[in-house]
């Protein structure tokens, strides 16, 4: 097969231009897991750090020429710790899934049991046996779900936790209308020697803007997240905890366990986004939730079957419409 590089070059340029025009100017995006960075964050996303290595941790690297990467990683780490009221944060994971996997690798052994919400209730693939837990040979058990409340069934979950003694109970997910019961499950999880982890990927920006409860403030042992959903930064991952020993275990899982390059070029954009959320996050998050509620109410008024009418439809950026 003959390939014309010049022709393909033009095709690539045309595809990217068409995509940018289409998605930025010609559509209304209703994908709740997507966002756009600010112009400044987007501008800083492209930089020389993209092609550099800095294996290891701050102050303990296996490469030279990393002094500015170290400075920037230190800045973004402190910003994220401050914004989310966390003693420790690891910003090196390159995605939310890798952040989740780092926690599993740090705290479990093959054959251990973890709990997460059912896939039909909005669990993320990285919480399920078909995803990262399966790769690590973990057993996944569904947390009992209350379809009327669109939330975890607390009493049934406590009973199941005591019976199965999971190493990790995961709250949060890809569909997330209402806050999950962290405080209500915490004692039961700790009684069996487990840890409660909250996957905040979808609601991280709402947490930053004080429009959604901070899981760490409620006692969660760990909080994981991506950095590009309601927190409108570049794609990346982060793990938070207030427990030093857990943090050290997660650090080892991130490197040398799961990554050797952390895509350092995203740190500047992540830092800018964190600063923006410190300055404007409360108004931003409040408006995001208000917009979601307005959309749900209008769809309902137009005759759509919008889920959770009796509970006000949503307390996040998610709106569910029953199209069955």
Q: Report the number of distinct structural domains present in the chain.
A: 1
**Which residue, among 235, 225, 178, has the nearest Cα to 202 in the 3D structure?**
225
Residue 38 in domain: no
- pLDDT of 73 above 80: yes
Q: How many CA atoms lie within 13 Å of 22's alpha carbon, on the beta-carbon side?
A: 6
Shortest CA distance to 133 belongs to which of 104, 157, 161, 160?
Answer: 104
Q: With respect to residue 307, please indicate whether it lies within any of the assigned structural domains.
A: no
Look over the chain and give the mean of its residue pLDDT values, rounded to a whole number.
97
Confidence at residue 324, expressed as pLDDT on a 0 to 100 scale: 87
Q: Is 70 left (phi over 0), alpha (psi -120 to 50) or beta?
A: alpha
> Is 302 part of a structural domain of the chain?
no
pLDDT of residue 27: 95
C-alpha 245/C-alpha 103 separation (Å) is 12
Give the percent of the chain with pLDDT over 90: 95
For residue range 257-276, list pLDDT tens digits in order: 999 999 999 999 999 999 99
Reduce the DSSP state of residue 198 to 3 states and report it. Answer: strand
Structural domain includes residue 81: yes
49, 270 contact by CB (below 8 A): no
Alpha helices in the chain (DSSP H): 5-25, 39-45, 67-83, 96-107, 132-135, 154-164, 182-191, 204-208, 244-252, 266-301
| Residue 297, in any domain of the structure | no
Question: Helices 67-83 and 266-301, interaxial angle, to 10°?
Answer: 30
Q: What is the CATH number of the domain that holds 123?
A: 3.40.640.10
13 domain-assigned: no
What number is the average pLDDT over the span 197-218?
A: 98
> 123-164, pLDDT tens digit by residue?
999 999 999 999 999 999 999 999 999 999 999 999 999 999
Residue pair 314/120 in contact (Cβ under 8 Å)? The answer is no
- Domain assignment present for 278: no
What is the average pLDDT across 117-122?
A: 94
Local confidence band at 193 (pLDDT 50, 70, 90 cut-offs): very high
Q: Does some domain include residue 25?
A: no
C-alpha to C-alpha distance for 72 and 163, rounded to whole angstroms: 46
| Residue 102 φ/ψ, nearest 5 degrees | -60, -40
> In terms of residue numbers, what domain contains 256?
48-270
Query: Distance from CA of residue 111 to its chain's centroid?
Result: 25
- pLDDT at position 60 over 90: no
Burial class (CB in 10 A: 0-12, 13-18, 19+), 18: exposed
The predicted model scores a pTM of 0.95
Q: 58: pLDDT confidence band, cut at 50, 70 and 90?
A: confident
* 222 SS3 class: strand
């Amino acid at each position: 097969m003959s390939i014309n590089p010049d022709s393909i070059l033009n095709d690539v340029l045309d595809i990217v231009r068409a995509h940018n025009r289409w998605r930025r100017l010609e559509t209304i995006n209703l994908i709740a897991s997507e966002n756009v960075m600010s112009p400044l964050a987007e501008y800083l996303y492209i930089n020389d750090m993209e092609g550099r290595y800095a294996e290891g941790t701050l102050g303990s690297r296996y490469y030279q020429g990393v002094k500015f990467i170290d400075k920037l990683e230190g800045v973004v780490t402190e910003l994220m710790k401050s914004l989310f009221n966390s003693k420790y944060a690891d910003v090196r994971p390159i995605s939310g899934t890798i952040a989740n996997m780092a926690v599993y690798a740090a705290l479990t052994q093959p054959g251990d049991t973890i709990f997460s919400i059912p896939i039909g209730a909005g669990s993320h693939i990285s919480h399920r046996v078909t995803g990262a837990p399966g790769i690590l040979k973990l057993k996944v058990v569904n947390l009992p779900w209350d379809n009327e409340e669109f939330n975890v069934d607390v009493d049934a979950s406590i009973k199941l936790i005591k019976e199965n003694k999971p190493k990790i109970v995961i709250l949060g997910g890809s569909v997330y209308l209402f806050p999950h019961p962290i405080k209500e499950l915490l004692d039961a999880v700790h009684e069996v020697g487990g840890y409660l982890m909250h996957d905040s990927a979808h609601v991280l920006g709402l947490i930053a803007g004080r429009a959604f409860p901070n899981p760490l403030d409620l006692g969660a042992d760990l909080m994981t997240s991506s950095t590009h959903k309601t927190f409108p930064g570049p794609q990346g991952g982060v793990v938070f905890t207030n427990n030093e020993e857990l943090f050290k275990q997660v650090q080892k899982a991130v490197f040398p366990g799961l990554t050797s390059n952390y895509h350092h070029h995203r740190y500047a954009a992540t830092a800018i986004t964190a600063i923006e959320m410190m300055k404007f996050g409360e108004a931003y998050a409040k408006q995001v939730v208000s917009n979601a509620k307005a959309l749900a109410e209008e769809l309902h008024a137009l005759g759509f079957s919008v889920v959770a009418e009796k509970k006000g439809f949503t307390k996040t950026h998610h709106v569910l419409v029953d199209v069955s």
